[in-house]
Structure formats: C-alpha cells, structure tokens
Amino acid sequence: MTRWTASQVTEVAPDASSLAAARKLAVPGPWRETGCSDVLVWGRCQGSGKTPYQVSVDLVGPAYRCSCPSRKFPCKHALALLMLWSEGVIDESGQIADFADEWAAQRAERAARPARTAESTSDPAAQARRLEQRLARMDAGVEDFRLWLADLVRSGLAAARTQPYSYWDTAAARLVDAQLPALAERVREAGSQVHARREWSTYLLAEVGRWWTITCAWQARAALDDEGMADVRVAVGWAQSSEDVRDADVRPGPWTVLGAVRTDDGRLQQQRTWLAHDDGEVVAVLDFAGYGQALAVPQLSGARLDVDVSRYPGSAPRRALFRDPPTGAVPVTGLPGRTTLAGVHAAAAAGLARAPWRDLHPAPLAGVRLVREDGQWRVSDATGSLPVADASTVWTLLAVSGGEPVDVFGEVESGAFRPLAAWLDDGVLAL
C-alpha cells in the first residue's frame, strides 16, 4: 500500500480538535511495538493510564480500532499513528502484533459471512391501509402549507422577516406532523437564514419558489414517472429504506472519490462523498450521525475504490450507498469528467429542468484560476466565473496552484462554488 500523504491523513480526521491532539502524539516517545505491512499499521500508545492503548489501522478499508474510550473514528491515537507512518517513521515489519492480527482476522471473518436476508412478514392489506393513511395525511399537510405560503407572499417578504422564530418553527412542526420532514427542515433553516444573510430577500424569494414548486409536484404526482416521483419523495422527506435500495440497482466499480464534505448543524452530522464511474456517472454517498454518534469513516479524495454501489431511484446525480465496505483503494491522477464552468452550468440547468428545487450540483472544473473581483474571490475560466462559497479554502488553493490554472472538484450551491479537492499533477489535496 502506498504511504499516505499528510493531506490524506488530514482528510480522514473527524474534526480539527482531533487533528490538533494527534499532532502532539505524532512523535516516537509515547509509541512502542509499532509496525506496518502492506495493509495494516499498528502500535501501542502510552496514555494517562498504566496500560498502553492498542491502535490498529486497516489501510484498505480504511478502518480503525483503538482501545481508548474515545467515540471518534478515527481517534487521535489512530491519526497520530498514521502521521508517523506517512512520514516514514514506522518501518515495515514482518511480525504483526497479536492485537492487530486478531482484529484483522475478525474483519475478514465478518466480510466472509453471507448477508442476511430479511423476510417480510407484514400483512399486505395492513401495509396498503397504512400507505393510504400516510398519503391522506401528507396531502392535507401540503394543502395547509400552500395556504401558509400564500399568506406569506400576500403579506410580503419584508413582513416575513420581522416574524419571530416561532412563526417558522410552528409551520415546520405542522409539516413534521404531516410526515413532510424535508420541507419542515427547509422552513426551519429559512427562519434562521432570513436574519443571518445580507442578501436575505433574494434567498427567501428563491426558497419560497422552491417550496411552492415542491407542493405543485406533489399534487401532480399521478402524472410523474418513477424517476420524477423519486425526486419528489426526496424533496418532501419520504425516506426509502437502505435495505430496499441495497439490492435493487447495483452498479459495480471501480469508482473514483472526487471529494467529500462534512457538515454539522448541532443536531445532525452529515458526510457527503462524491464518486465518479469510468463512464462519467456521478453519485453522492450520504452518511448521517446524531449527537454523540460517529460518522462513517471518510474515503480519501482521489482514491479508486473496488466497490459495488447501490443507487437510490431519482434523476442524476443520484444518491447511492456502498453495498459492502470499500476495498482496494488505489490513488489515481486526473480529475474524471473535468469540464468548464459553462459545462457545469449546462448540467445544473438540465438537473433543474427535472427537479426545479434542487440546489446542489457537482462541479469538476478544469483549469480554473482564482481571481479577485469587487472584493470577492471567484473561480474563473474562459467561459465564466463563480463566487467561492468557502473563503477559508482560497489561500490553500492559491498556495498549491501558485496562481496558475488548477483542476478543482467542488459543489455549486445557491450560485456559489464550494471547493472540496484540488487535483494536482502529483496527487489530490482535500480542502
């Protein structure tokens, strides 16, 4: 296994505090019995207690195990071990530590077990009744929300901004009661954004338009095809079980990791990983974790994964999940599907034609420059420019590109570009 770079180790860190703590431990002093093979790195790290922590990293997964009580994955000890390994401090060893060998054997045994199949014992008639009741509740909720939207527009956006947060929260609670959680989350978010944004009126007008379009699509669902109905289900928050998806629409790999991003609103953590197939198809793998829970281990940007992906129904780019844990990660060079800003706009327009409420689009940009216009950083090429959403990534991009054109993968959201990974000649740098 090729040794990871420092940026690859940084990319798998769950948060900045874990990374900072790991740097303090990334010295030979607290470590003993370290070693590595072609797929494993292991070592014992002396903590505050008498017994050293047993740390193991499976580089293929990647997967992590540490005997410390931390609920973060990877923890600071696993990160520090990876830092030492990436710097060449840990030499290859032919004798694998017992604790690492035992863990690797357990992982191999679990992977070899046949998947359990769930047998449905539900009564079809009872299922039909529950579905009918849910649809009736959702229909009533959509109609009630349309009346609320009409009142909001009739009163004016300026009046809506003066409303207390309870105004938005009450509307969202009624949507939750009607089993429309995704719409409810949008309304709650708008209640915060109208006071936080400078361009609040533009934002709110666009959001109200999206909400109205979603309700129109829901009421016209009988005329939609399967793909369109799947998009509407996502928009209103009618979730589909991952078990139903896992064996329904499977596409074999290899898949290339374009980039990933993590978000945290204080209640729910989300990890979004963008993958590209060799024929250009792009999918997004979403992972979620509640307060106190750990997100799935992130995949390295620029890695080529030998994995089957199960795709959710809907229009492109589709949501997906890993059918089994990824294996055989191999670094690649060359951003797949690289295109111009005009090409990204065209793809986004095609997506909006199918789902007008969609506001997130993948953007594999080829040879863009960072420019400063009217006090704002933008990515630019011969076909146009876009403002950069995350200014904290600008200086890193400037440093690695030297002001020259560079391939960057990111997301376009609400008319701004969020850089996620810089694809350089000698590797991929997560931003």
- Say whether pLDDT at 115 is over 60: no
Range in 36-50, 118-132, 232-246 with the lowest mean pLDDT: 118-132
For residues 117 and 176, what is the distance between their CA atoms, to the nearest angstrom? 32
Residue 265 has what pLDDT? 67
Give the residue among 278, 232, 234, 229 at the shortest CA–CA distance from 258: 278
Residue 204 CA to residue 190 CA, distance in Å, equals: 7
Euclidean distance between CA atoms 411 and 274, whole angstroms: 10
Whether the Cβ atoms of residue 367 and residue 405 lie closer than 8 Å to each other? yes
CB atoms within 10 A of CB 152: 18
Mean pLDDT, the chain, as a whole number?
Answer: 87
Judged against a pLDDT cut of 60, whether residue 117 lies above it is answered with no
Mean predicted confidence (pLDDT) in 71-87? 87
Which pLDDT value is given to residue 364?
Answer: 96
DSSP for 89-147, written as a single string: -SPB-SS--HHHHHHHHHHHHHHHSPPPPPPP---HHHHHHHHHHHHHHHHHHHHHHHH
**How high is the pLDDT of residue 339?**
95
Task: State residue 112's pLDDT score.
Answer: 67
pLDDT at 120: 44
Q: How far is CA 68 from the centre of its chain?
A: 27
Strands (E), 149-277: 250-251, 255-264, 268-277
Q: Output the pLDDT for position 264.
A: 75
From the list 322, 304, 311, the residue with the least C-alpha distance to 254 is: 304
CA distance 105 to 41: 14
**Beta carbons of 257 and 305 less than 8 angstroms apart:** yes
Average pLDDT over residues 67-82: 86
DSSP H or E segment with residue 290: strand 282-290
Tell me the per-residue pLDDT of 8-20, one tens digit each, with 9 for 90 and over: 888 888 888 888 8
pLDDT in tens, 416-427: 999 999 999 888
Lookup: tokens for 425: 């000649």
Is residue 97 pLDDT above 90, yes or no? no
pLDDT tens per residue, range 321-351: 998 888 767 878 889 999 999 999 999 999 9
Residues of the chain by 3-state class (helix, strand, coil), percent to 5 = 40, 25, 35
3-state SS assignment for residue 321: strand
- Beta pairing partners, 410: 363, 419
Residue 373 backbone dihedrals phi, psi, to 5 degrees: -135, 125
The answer to whether residues 2 and 298 touch, using CB atoms and an 8 Å cutoff, is no
CB distance 335 to 310 below 8 Å: no
How many C-beta atoms lie closer than 10 Å to residue 268's C-beta? 13
- Quick one: pLDDT at residue 292? 56
Q: Provide the total of helices (H) and of strands (E) in the chain, helices listed first.
A: 13, 18
- Mean local confidence (pLDDT), 24-39: 85
> Which pLDDT does position 328 carry in this prediction?
66
Instruction: Kindly indicate the confidence band of residue 266, based on its pLDDT and cuts at 50, 70 and 90.
Output: low
- CA torsion sign for 202, 205, 209, 212 is positive
Least confident of 94-98, 190-194, 414-418: 94-98
Full-model pTM: 0.73
Could you tell me the residue ranges of all domains in the chain? 6-112, 124-236, 242-331, 341-430
For residues 254 and 309, the answer to whether their CB atoms sit within 8 Å is no
Of 225, 401, 81, 428, give the one whose Cα is nearest residue 420. Answer: 428
CATH of domain 341-430: 2.40.50
Q: Per-residue confidence at 131, pLDDT binned at 50, 70, 90?
A: confident
DSSP 8-state class, residue 391: G
Res 235: pLDDT = 94
pLDDT tier at 121 (50, 70, 90 boundaries)?
A: very low
Query: Could you tell me if 82 and 9 are in contact, meaning their C-beta atoms sit under 8 angstroms apart?
Result: yes
pLDDT at 367 over 60: yes
